[in-house]
Amino acid sequence: MASSAQDIYITGLKNAHALEVQAMQLLERQVERVENYPEMAARMKSHIEESRVQSQRLEQILERLGTSHSALKDFGTGLMGNLAAMAHAPMQDEILKNTFANYAFEHFEIASYRALMEMAQAAGDQQGIGLLQQSLQEEVKMAEFIGENLPQTVQRYIQLETSGQKSGI
């Protein structure tokens, strides 16, 4: 049986909700460990809150469409976020690996929201497009922050590492 545009859109919304759960878990585990990069820690904390709001926006759209997020998907991706954050913990250059991974993850979320906006259009959900656009802009701003701060993060890491201080986080 063929899927409708709305079926595809609802699946995408559920996947995006799970992705936001993963983002929150990932950032919460990382920010617990960040000590020597206060600007990054502060932005991560604010993005955790943005991700919570993004998750609520997705829930609002799903509820309006007569469904809800997938607890199983949320659990699975949340677990993956925790594991991914801990995978870099033993690494000497943890902050760099986390920064690279976060930059890539933000771009994944950007692509997801852009695709959701196309799905919303195909499903005739004009109201959803506005909410998705808000989340997209927040993801773009976070990706820009990480990209713009990459040189300072690398320089701070080098400074700490070459002076014998704790540099990885």
Q: What is the four-CA torsion angle of 12, 17, 20, 24, rounded to 10 degrees?
A: -160
Q: What is the count of structural domains for the chain?
A: 1
Most confident of 22-36, 81-95, 133-147: 133-147
What is the predicted pLDDT for the residue at 82? 47
Whether residue 94 is contained in a domain is answered as yes
CB atoms within 10 A of CB 156: 18
Could you write out the DSSP letters of every residue in 133-147? HHHHHHHHHHHHHHH
Q: Select the more confidently predicted residue: 148 or 29.
A: 148
Domain boundaries, position 56: 5-162
Whether residue 86 is contained in a domain is answered as yes
CB atoms within 10 A of CB 112: 19
Q: Is the pLDDT of residue 168 over 90?
A: no
Whether residue 132 is contained in a domain is answered as yes
Cα 94–152–157 angle (5° rounding)? Answer: 35
Whether residue 168 is contained in a domain is answered as no
**Domain with 137 in it: what CATH number?**
1.20.1260.10
Q: Is the pLDDT of residue 78 over 60?
A: no
Whether residue 103 is contained in a domain is answered as yes
Average pLDDT over residues 45-49: 97
Whether residue 42 is contained in a domain is answered as yes
The shares of helix, strand and coil residues in the chain, as percent rounded to the nearest 5, are: 80, 0, 20
What is the predicted pLDDT for the residue at 94? 87
Whether residue 39 is contained in a domain is answered as yes
Name the nearest CA neighbour of 20 among 43, 48, 44.
Answer: 48
pLDDT band, residue 102 (cuts 50/70/90): very high
Q: Select the more confidently predicted residue: 25 or 43.
A: 43
Using alpha carbons only, how large is the chain's radius of gyration in Å?
Answer: 18
Distance CA 16, CA 54 (A): 9
Whether residue 167 is contained in a domain is answered as no
Most confident of 72-81, 123-132, 160-169: 123-132
Using alpha carbons, list the distances in angstroms from residue 107 to 29, 49, 113, 142, 147: 20, 18, 10, 9, 11
Length of the chain: 169
Instruction: Give the whole-number percent of the chain exceeding pLDDT 70.
Output: 84
CB atoms within 10 A of CB 165: 9
